[in-house]
Chains A and B, each alone.
Chain A
Amino acid sequence: MNAQPIADNLFTADMGALVGARNKETGHIFFPLPLNPNNDIEPIPLATRGTVWTYTVQRFPPKPPYIGPTDPEKFKPYVVAYVSLPGQTMVESRLTGIEPEDVKIGMEVEFTVIPLDPDAPPEEKLLIHAFKPVEGE
């Protein structure tokens, strides 16, 4: 068994994008898809490229309900950003492939998936969403 997404309905079937929600009446787009969406809501794939609107860095290991690595010796601070997807919404997401010190507001990023615990055995890996700097930018 390979790595699994951390939750159903978070990603599209090909894991190529996040699934957002669109209100059919108003056109309002948000994330994530509600657990029990009403009839006005339809799922839509979210854009895979956007820009960093703001960010912070989680510097200490969170308590439960967090289930990622928490060993203070091994815990690696992670960047939490709001990524603005043009014409859609701003998605809260980790950034990957970049050190916290190098993150800039306005930088271009693209969608990817990462394991919540990189050190977990492959079959136990849970995949979460992230955005990474666009190559060559």
Chain B
Amino acid sequence: MSDVCIVGAGIHPFGRTEGRDGMDQGIFAVRQALADSGIEWKDVQFAFGGSAASGSADNMVSQLGLTGIQFINVSNGCATGGSALNAAVSAIKSGEYEMGMAVGFDKHPRGVFNADPSEYGLPNWYGEAGYMLTVQFFGAKIMRYLHEHNISRETLGRVAEKAFRNGVKTDHAWRRSEVDLETIMNAPMICDPLTKYMFCSPAEGAVALILASEKKARELGVPIIRLKTSVMRTRPAGSFEVFAASIDNERGGTATEIAAKAAFEQAGMGPEDIDIAQLQDTESGAEIMHMAENGFCKPGEQQQWLLEGRSDITGALPINTDGGCLACGEPIGASGLRQVYENVIQLRGTAGARQVQGDPKTAYTQVYGAPGVSAVTILQR
């Protein structure tokens, strides 16, 4: 079967844009993606899109043009973008369509995401007594991981330091200045062992990707970036997810582990074949855990990786080359697609100051979120 190709990519800068709502940021990204691929809106045969907090994506047609396009809304929490992409790939693979779009956008208020216990099947006391905070989950989960695998707290700091260092070189990033390790480590603690600089913030932003069959991509004459696989998986038994009033004594695997395994199988590759990776880094600990869950190292090896700079832009496997969520912030609907956008730019060799050297040919993304969903893609030039 021929590959699905990414023939256009557009992004609205992440962070805070006063006076422009989430959907308008989405429109911005779509127009950029259309221009990038040299096509017009009327050429787009279908779209999958979503946002968590900025309205129904299909309403974009009122600004983009009433072409009668099939436009399906996707609502899959933190995996919204990944799921939209996944669905778009299937639509082309099926042979029904030749060219379509995946789009994600969002604009969240400042501060920690507020959550309602009843939406998670939890009693009211859970929120009233002070457990309904995502940051507690992140702290508790990485606290155990560091303990189990003998990883230093400083390793968390090094992940954040790298993110901000990469963000400086990234046009679409929100945090554009470096923060040194000492400042990161001594910053106010949010939920132990994580300080303020080790968490990403809810933010704004949008990404649109134009996908096409290989035949169509060749007709367009654009650089061919193949989407070797796009996999989305939900959690297995015994995983440790947010807002859990209890977890099983018997521990299990993770959604990311099974998504990664399926993705590598489908692509006929292994972790050793990947040149660049964008991994979910809601907080520093997530990047550390995901390095191992995706198979790039063994649990416990992360400390040495970070010390040696192996995940730096100049390292053996650059991770989160645009600064990830830590430097870009997290607009839920757009976050997973930002990772893919960054890989498209890197594989084309047009990433400027943050360009990974050595002619990278394969690039990996993994997005993870509540309530235990993970989406992986592998791109190849």
* CA of A80 to CA of B242, assembled, Å: 13
User: A57–B139 contact, CB under 8 A?
Assistant: yes
> Assuming A34-B121, A58-B133, A89-B247, is B128 touching A65 (CB within 8 A)?
yes
Contact of B247 among A6, A55, A90 (CB under 8 A): A90
- Distance, CA A66 to CA B97, complexed state (A): 49
Chain B residues whose C-beta falls within 8 Å of the C-beta of A56 in the assembled complex: 136, 139-140, 143, 191-193
Q: Are A92 and B246 in contact (CB under 8 A)?
A: yes
CB of B96, distance to nearest CB on chain A (Å)? 41
Verify A92–B131 contact, CB threshold 8 A. Answer: yes
Q: Does A84 contact B (CB under 8 A)?
A: yes
B219 contacts which chain A residues (CB < 8 A)? none
Q: Beta-carbon contacts of A45-71 to B below 8 Å, as 1s and 0s? A: 000000001111111101111111000
Query: Which one, A58, A88, A105, A126, contacts B191 given CB within 8 A?
Result: A58
**Pick the contact of B246 from A6, A91, A128 — CB < 8 Å?**
A91
Chain B contacts for A80, CB-based, 8 A: 130-131, 136, 140
The 6 closest A-B pairs by CB, nearest first: A56-B139, A65-B127, A54-B144, A31-B246, A7-B125, A57-B192
By a CB distance below 8 angstroms, the chain B residues around A31 are 245-246
A88 contact from B124, B144, B249, Cβ within 8 A? B249
Other A-B pairs beyond A59-B190, A66-B129, A92-B247, 15, CB < 8 Å: A7-B124, A10-B125, A20-B246, A54-B141, A56-B191, A59-B188, A64-B127, A87-B249, A90-B247, A91-B246, A92-B245, A105-B144, A116-B128, A116-B130, A128-B125
Interface size class on chain A is 35 or more
A111 touches B (CB below 8 Å): no
Q: Would you call A6 and B140 a contact (CB within 8 A)? A: no
Which B residues are closer than 8 A to A by beta carbons?
Answer: 111-112, 114, 116-117, 121, 123-133, 136, 139-141, 143-144, 147, 188-193, 244-249
Q: Report A-chain residues with C-beta under 8 Å of the C-beta of B143.
A: 54-56, 105
* Residues in chain A within 8 A of chain B (CB atoms): 6-7, 10, 20, 28, 30-32, 34-35, 53-60, 62-68, 78, 80-82, 84-92, 94, 100, 105, 116, 126, 128
**What is the interface of chain A mostly: helix, strand, loop, or mixed?**
loop
Name, among B111, B114, B188, B246, the residue most crowded by chain A CB atoms within 10 Å (CB to CB).
B246
Q: Are A63 and B114 in contact (CB under 8 A)?
A: yes
Judge whether A59 and B191 touch: CB under 8 Å. yes
Contact of A67 with B128 in the complex, beta carbons under 8 Å: yes
- A65 close to B247 (CB less than 8 A): no
Would A90 and B192 count as touching, CB distance under 8 A? no
Give the residue name and chain of the B residue nearest to A70 (CB): B130
A5, closest chain B residue (CB) = B125
* Chain A residues with CB under 8 A of B188: 59
Which residues of A are found within 8 Å of B246, using beta-carbon distances?
Answer: 20, 30-32, 89-92
A118 vs chain B, min Cβ distance (A)? 14
Name 8 A/B residue pairs within 8 A (Cβ), A-sorted.
A6-B129, A30-B246, A32-B123, A35-B123, A58-B136, A105-B144, A105-B147, A128-B129
